[in-house]
Structure 1
Amino acid sequence: MSRVIALVGSLRAESITRRLAETASTVAPEGVEVVIHEGLADLPFYNEDLDTPEKLADLGAVTALREAVAGADALLLLTPEYNGTIPAVLKNAIDWLSRPYGAGAISGKPTAVISSSPSANAGRWAKEDTAKAAGIAGASVLDDVDLAIDGIVAAIDGAHPRENSQIASDIADVVTALTGTALVDA
């Protein structure tokens, strides 16, 4: 079974971004498990002074994140757009995953990014910034997998995104492409 860890760039329990991650877990192809990683709100801001064996012993959220991503076959990053860019919580998670530099849990990990926005821009700035940060951190970002959902609020009209057949199909395509890469690399 292929395991994908989903990191959600919104902390709000009922956020559309979280619901997109939930959709990914329900539309994943057979043999693929998409797990939403909980605990990003518990991560302290990345600080190299905290990134020592002694201090990490007291930072269970950091250890859990690193272990979850290291043990996964692929990484799915889902981001809304906050003030034209990536939310701090998602950037912070990428920063923690990038260390130790060149050997962090994100290093070489097949990664895809999904963005959404109520605007016509579809969160593309956040998607591009997320892909850039993940790539610089060492992830193997899939350049040919592109999903930026515009007008998301109107598209789901108060329903769960999985109830929109086009959105569910597009997310399934991303997960399929991501796990296809993960299975080839495995």
Structure 2
Amino acid sequence: MLQNIPNILTLLRILLIPVFVVLFYLPWQYAAEACAFVFALAAITDWFDGYLARKLEQVSALGAFLDPVADKLMVAAALILLVQQDPIPGLAIPVLVIIGREITISALREWMAEIGARAQIAVSAIGKIKTAFQMTAIFLLIYRNDLFGLPLYTIGFVLLYVAVILTLWSMFLYLRAAWPSLNQQGAPQTEENE
């Protein structure tokens, strides 16, 4: 399974996380640019591994498991480091919303899979749009520096709030789709509620 290209790209994305963290803390003049480049590389491999998996018919169970894990780890690492660098409520609140949504939807998907209803909460178009805004915002916030007179950090900050609105909207859509299953009496027992 590790021999297929999409899985190698997904593993590369996971391996880029410690590189990203080290670059973030390096006392080097171009650390922000290098860190933003690593994040962009991870975001590109996220799109590319899914595309290749479908195109080359190399979809695998390992890839289906690792791909969302790699995405969430990189995004969470980036958001946490950004708040640590700029600890203001205006940044901490959207970060908490984004990370909280990811935990909620991951738990929802796991539970829906457990009851055999995973298809009811498949990835939606709004989720993909949310991801595009989120990745762009994080990239700009990491890059920080103005470019050609454009205040990239400020633009990233605005895009982060757009991503938060889309995050809440997509979470509402997932919860609405799952509501009939969530609202049933006599839900199956899980380890947490046994």
TM over 0.5: no
Q: Identify the structure with bigger relative contact order (alpha carbons < 8 Å, sequence gap 6+).
A: 1
Higher share of residues assigned helix: 2
Give the TM-score range, shorter chain.
Answer: under 0.3
Give the TM-score, by structure 1 length: 0.26
Larger Rg: 2
